[in-house]
């Protein structure tokens, strides 16, 4: 005990070492290395040459590459907006319902909402792909009188991206629901009680007391949604293909990056790591630019 | 203390003895040479191991180990290995530019003077692995073919005949549709299959022509939006209505299942799928996609795999001997026996395959011109634009003329 007191100034630093080690080796170093890579051309250590900003210039001036990039960028924004609107609104709604005093069988509903989150995207994506495919679900839909729903949803350029996004919302809606539920439960009962005494309606309670109290969580969820969706890749990979079929309409920055930087375009399959790293670097900058102001705006209220 | 000394001594003794023993046993097998083989055919481990075991019977002191990578990672992984000097001794070589790039970079050996290579392979079959100045950078190993798979039971039941012209083919599709069948299993959701199997594998050779014509497009003497190509895109628009309902979201796997469960009667596909239907509960066969009336039917017989050796291998003689063996009739026959169904030897000798469907595929070639997939030899940049154009024409979002124009505009 005495010994512990003696080094009390710095001893906690040792506890950080394992985490710091893994963070540096597996997060910080690869991140910095990938930033560095974006200034080089060539795929392997031996053939790498410094090219300055050439990768970025190619990405935005080559007509084919810039079209692909900007289309992917817009699709990613749409993908993100759909998540914000559908997934997070549903999350708040579910949380309000789940924390309502009159709610019965709370645990059961909570489990149902959270189950998809625990499943692998490749599996849920594939299941939805089959369900949205008229070849497999058409007969069943016709039997129950919903034959008009048997459309090639994922093969149509107009419906593919919204549907892929909605499947992703379905899968992840459990996370915001959980976080909002926890936030609502943390609101001191006295505040609600006091509001009631003053004659506030349920809507007033929600708008004037509950929402301001959960603002830090709203900010956190917005950031999580933003970061996850700008890195999204798996759901498109599972439901469409790495080209973002049909006709690149579901091509996200994630799939574009995979095609350019990791796998290479089929069938030649020679990746351009420099260009891929350039795409990743821009995404990193976009994420920082989005996350930092949101953090500042929503997290200061905690103090 | 004494106990410890004894322990240390006995440890020392055992180490010395075992190392002496080990070096002795090494001396006894000093001639045992291990070669590694890189490949993108991760599915063929069993077949390749059988082939290599056969080779070991002939050359007992050489042990070749098959170490495949995932197909999509092969190019990148191989490049990385070669760059860092840990490349395999023997490896699969992709055809045309993708393979030649590695020869130019100094990783693939010059195979030109491997005995038998120049004599036992035709010029056409060597071309995909030949540099402009006639050097060979690999030994041709296997080709794939493309044809229409059809359900013989249904053909028999409905009294249908194999179509001889493209016009026949369309009317066959229409007849099947009227009788309530889904004529074709093909879909476009995965994109690559409609281009590689249907358009390049069946339509282009028949509407545009074989190698002699292809070269004219490569040189720019003919435009990729000429009447032949427009007709080829129109053919795709014509077959769209015979594909399954909702073909826009039908994947390659879906197509296989549709054909295998008899929900679709025909499937334009590559020979590599033949193994998938080996347990099909119905009789099936293949026929060549027919050319329009007045044109000759051309088969897309695509050079797919070749084998080559590393310039930096520690055992060049042994590696070379293996490649030379593949250039002999005996080697090629053994290799063909151990290739998966749907991969065909490219050597000149008559090799009888055991699988009846494989022979059916090969029989389609007789008396017909064959060529590689149109874009592979020199126009690989057009792969993606052409893929999108074909799908757009089928969905009706582009006219055949617009589709052809969009591809021509991307030609460099």
Q: What is the DSSP string of B284-338?
A: EEEEPPPPPTTS--EEEEEEEEEEEEBTT-S-HHHHHHHHHHHTSHHHHHHHHHH
**Cα–Cα distance between B190 and B248 in angstroms, integer?**
9
Residues B235-257: tens digit of each pLDDT: 999 999 999 999 999 999 999 99
**Cα–Cα distance between A74 and A199 in angstroms, integer?**
46
Fold of A52-302: MetI-like fold (1.10.3720)
B100 sits in which H/E element: helix B96-104
Q: Do the chains contact at A267 and B380, CB–CB below 8 Å?
A: yes
Which residue bears the tokens 């059809």? B150
- Cβ-based neighbours of A173, under 8 Å, separated by 6 or more: A87, A90, A91, A94, A113, A116, A117
Query: Which of A258, A262, A267, A269 is most worth mutating to test chain B (most B CB atoms within 10 A of its CB)?
Result: A267
Task: Please state, as a whole number, how many other Cβ atoms lie within 10 Å of the Cβ of residue B203.
Answer: 25
Q: For residue A118, what pLDDT band results from cuts at 50, 70 and 90?
A: very high
Sign of CA dihedral A252, A257, A262, A264: positive
Q: What is the CA radius of gyration of chain A?
A: 24
Residues A27-84: tens digit of each pLDDT: 999 999 999 999 998 766 667 889 999 999 999 999 999 999 999 999 999 999 999 9
Mean pLDDT of B88-111: 90
A224 and A175 in contact (C-beta within 8 Å)?
yes
Q: CA of A131: which chain B residue's CA is closest? A: B249
Please list every residue in chain B whose beta carbon sits closer than 8 Å to the beta carbon of residue A241. 189-191
Q: Could you say which DSSP state residue A48 is in?
A: -
**Cα–Cα distance between A98 and A180 in angstroms, integer?**
10
Count CA within 13 A, CB hemisphere, residue B66: 19
> Where are the alpha helices (H) located in B179-315, listed in sequence order?
192-193, 204-207, 211-219, 227-240, 252-260
B269 sits in which H/E element: strand B264-270
Among A200-214, A255-269, B200-214, the range with the most confident prediction by mean pLDDT is B200-214
Name the pairing type of β-strands B139-151 and B369-371: unpaired
What is the per-residue pLDDT for A14? 87
Residue B369's SS3 state is strand
Task: Tell me what ipTM this predicted complex has.
Answer: 0.86
A222 and A298 in contact (C-beta within 8 Å)?
yes
B248 and A157 in contact (C-beta within 8 Å)?
no
Q: CA of A137: which chain B residue's CA is closest? A: B246
CA angle (A253 as vertex; A252, A256 as ends), nearest 5: 85
A264 → closest Cβ in B76, B187, B247? B76
Beta strand residue intervals within B104-153, DSSP E:
139-151
Q: For residue A11, what pLDDT band results from cuts at 50, 70 and 90?
A: confident
Task: Please state, as a whole number, how many other Cβ atoms lie within 10 Å of the Cβ of residue A19.
Answer: 9
Structure tokens at B42: 């991760």
Q: What is the CA radius of gyration of chain B?
A: 25
Mean pLDDT of A271-293: 92
Residues A222-236: tens digit of each pLDDT: 999 999 999 999 999
Q: A297, A214, A205, A272: which is closest to A55 by C-alpha?
A: A272
Count CA within 13 A, CB hemisphere, residue A292: 6
Question: For residue B412, how far is the Cα from the chain centroid?
Answer: 27
Q: For residue B75, what pLDDT band results from cuts at 50, 70 and 90?
A: confident
Q: Do the chains contact at B188 and A43, CB–CB below 8 Å?
A: no
Q: At CB < 8 Å, which residues of chain A contact B?
A: 43-47, 129, 132-136, 138, 150-157, 240-241, 243, 245-248, 262-271
Q: Is A303 a residue whose pLDDT tops 50?
A: no
Q: B368, B374, B363: which is closest to B286 by C-alpha?
A: B363
Domain positions in chain B? 33-143+302-361, 144-301+374-408
B58 and B321 in contact (C-beta within 8 Å)?
no
Please tell me the least confidently modeled range out of A62-71, A84-93, B17-26. Answer: B17-26
- Give me the count of residues in chain B: 412
Q: Do the chains contact at A45 and B84, CB–CB below 8 Å?
A: yes
Residues B159-203: tens digit of each pLDDT: 999 999 999 999 999 999 999 999 999 999 999 999 999 999 999
The architecture (CATH level 2) of B144-301+374-408 comes to 3-Layer(aba) Sandwich (3.40)
A221 and A176 in contact (C-beta within 8 Å)?
yes
Fold of B33-143+302-361: D-Maltodextrin-Binding Protein; domain 2 (3.40.190)
Residue B142's SS3 state is strand
Residue B114's SS3 state is coil
Q: Is B343 a residue whose pLDDT tops 80?
A: yes
The answer to whether domain B33-143+302-361 and domain B144-301+374-408 are alike in fold is yes
Please list every residue in chain B whose beta carbon sits closer than 8 Å to the beta carbon of residue A127. none
B385 and B314 in contact (C-beta within 8 Å)?
no
What's the pTM value of the predicted model, to 2 decimals?
0.86
Among B37-41, B149-153, B271-275, the range with the most confident prediction by mean pLDDT is B149-153
Structure tokens at A300: 């200061």
**Cα–Cα distance between B403 and B158 in angstroms, integer?**
36
């Amino acid at each position: 005990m005495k010994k512990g007191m003696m080094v009390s100034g710095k001893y906690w630093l040792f506890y950080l070492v394992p985490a710091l080690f893994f963070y540096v080796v597996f997060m910080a170093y690869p991140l910095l290395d990938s930033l560095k890579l974006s200034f080089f051309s060539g795929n392997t250590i031996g053939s790498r040459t410094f090219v300055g900003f050439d990768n970025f210039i190619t990405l935005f001036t080559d007509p084919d590459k810039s079209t692909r990039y900007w289309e992917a960028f817009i699709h990613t924004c749409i993908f993100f907006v759909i998540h914000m609107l559908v997934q997070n609104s549903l999350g708040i709604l579910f949380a309000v319902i789940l924390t309502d005093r009159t709610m019965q069988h709370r645990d059961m509903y909570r489990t149902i909402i959270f189950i998809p989150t625990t499943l692998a995207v490749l599996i849920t994506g594939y299941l939805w792909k089959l369900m949205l495919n008229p070849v497999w679900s058409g007969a069943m839909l016709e039997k129950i009188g919903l034959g008009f729903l048997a459309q090639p949803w994922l093969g149509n350029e107009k419906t593919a991206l919204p549907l892929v996004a909605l499947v992703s919302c379905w899968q992840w809606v459990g996370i915001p629901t959980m976080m909002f539920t926890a936030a609502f439960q943390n609101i001191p009962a006295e505040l609600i009680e006091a509001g009631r005494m003053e004659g506030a309606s349920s809507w007033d309670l929600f708008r004037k007391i509950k929402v301001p109290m959960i603002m830090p969580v709203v900010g956190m969820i917005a950031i999580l949604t933003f970061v996850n969706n700008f890195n999204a890749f798996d759901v498109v990979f599972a439901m469409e293909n790495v080209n973002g079929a049909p006709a690149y309409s579901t091509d996200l920055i994630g799939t574009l990056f995979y095609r350019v930087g990791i796998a290479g375009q089929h069938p030649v399959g020679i990746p351009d790591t420099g260009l891929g790293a350039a795409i990743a670097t821009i995404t990193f900058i976009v994420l920082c630019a989005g996350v930092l102001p949101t953090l500042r705006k929503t997290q200061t209220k905690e103090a | 203390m004494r106990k410890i000394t004894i322990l240390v001594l006995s440890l020392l003794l055992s180490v010395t003895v075992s190392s002496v023993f080990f070096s002795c046993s090494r001396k006894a097998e000093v001639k045992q040479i291990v070669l590694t083989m890189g490949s993108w055919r991760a599915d063929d481990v069993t077949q390749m191991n059988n082939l290599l075991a056969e080779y070991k019977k002939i050359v007992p002191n050489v042990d070749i180990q098959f170490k495949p990578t995932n197909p999509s990672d092969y190019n990148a992984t191989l490049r990385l290995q070669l760059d860092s000097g840990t490349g395999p001794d023997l490896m699969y070589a992709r055809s045309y530019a993708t393979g030649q790039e590695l020869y130019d970079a100094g990783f693939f050996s010059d195979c030109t003077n491997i005995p038998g290579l120049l004599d036992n392979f035709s010029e056409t079959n060597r071309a995909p692995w030949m540099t402009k100045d006639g050097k060979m950078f690999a030994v041709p190993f296997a080709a794939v073919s493309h044809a229409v798979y059809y359900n013989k039971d249904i053909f028999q039941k409905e009294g249908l005949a194999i179509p001889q012209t493209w016009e026949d083919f369309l009317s066959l599709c229409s007849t099947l549709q009227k009788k309530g069948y889904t004529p074709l299993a093909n879909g476009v959701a995965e994109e690559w299959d409609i281009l590689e199997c249907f358009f390049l594998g069946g339509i282009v050779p028949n509407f545009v022509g074989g190698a002699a014509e292809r070269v004219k497009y490569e040189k720019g003497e003919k435009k990729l939006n000429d009447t032949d190509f427009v007709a080829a895109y129109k053919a795709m628009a014509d077959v769209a209505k015979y594909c399954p309902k909702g073909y826009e979201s039908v994947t390659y796997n879906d197509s296989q299942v549709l054909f295998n469960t008899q929900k679709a009667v025909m499937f334009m596909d590559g020979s590599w799928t033949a193994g998938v239907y080996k347990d099909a509960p119905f009789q099936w066969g293949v026929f060549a996609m027919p050319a329009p009336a007045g044109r000759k039917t051309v088969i897309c017989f695509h050079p797919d795999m070749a084998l080559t050796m590393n310039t930096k291998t520690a055992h060049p003689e042994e590696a070379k001997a293996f490649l030379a063996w593949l250039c002999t009739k005996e080697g090629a026959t053994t290799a063909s026996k151990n290739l998966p169904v749907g991969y065909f030897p490219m050597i000149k000798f008559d090799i009888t395959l055991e699988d009846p469907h494989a022979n059916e595929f090969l029989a389609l070639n007789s008396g017909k011109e064959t060529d590689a997939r149109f874009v592979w030899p020199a126009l690989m940049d057009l792969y993606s634009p052409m893929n999108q154009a074909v799908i757009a024409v089928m969905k009706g979002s582009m006219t055949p003329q617009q589709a052809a124009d969009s591809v021509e505009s991307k030609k460099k």
